[in-house]
Structure 1
């Protein structure tokens, strides 16, 4: 666990019993909710840091992802983070409260959880936004065809996001 904000619910019950007092703690999660070590964090346009690893759990074993999948994943999180931030700004311009703007922005948020820098403790590798964007740009120069596929995907997402932004901020 990175931060206690990841706890979604707690179930606590008292059971009268005999013998020594004790308690049991159990943590459950979905396979989609964890990342293998080493975890790294990447700064995104909304100012939060998102975990993104280069190793995934696949069919019962760890598997390294390609540079294409790494940079495509980062680019998608970047776009989602940017879109969420823009929705909040547009909603505030439309006159909604700050809380309501946040709530509307959740409709276009990524499933990845972002963390404030101060909430990340430990020896995690941290990648400031400009640093990883420079690495992505260097990769794209030597992998233009692959990066073109990423850009095509992002263009489709941007068009969809424009429609979502218009719809979400007009109903605020």
Structure 2
């Protein structure tokens, strides 16, 4: 989804708890809303946006229950589909000459974390401008819980993965 707008405003949980809603609007009319408790983003609007992005990354890698129960109302029992092999990973994004980390996310395996990093790096290619941005070096790094770098996805690898995805029939 190509983001064309972001809106931030108040919301309320069914319990009445005040929330902050961040809505990412796409160019095709689609949108994604993230609601979070107030106070989780001490840095104002930019902090709320960063936290919402982190929650989306975590949600995108979340596996659903395998018992077939409807979880739409939040009352269904949940089966744990992880075999205890999941780990905590931190994604570090290149932002110009700086790096930004999103809050750590639990992933079922390093392979899943690396696949997510590649997908995110492909999305980052859209924002790079030849001649204006440095198209060399890393775009995204994956770190383990101790902060050790496990892999780095560079521009060339992201471009190759995008090309491979475009050539894969649906």
TM superposition score normalised by structure 1:
0.28
**More RCO (CA 8 Å, sep 6+):** 1
The structure that is helix-richer by fraction is: 1
Question: Based on CA coordinates, which of the two structures has the bigger radius of gyration?
Answer: 1
* Structure (1 or 2) with the greater strand fraction: 2
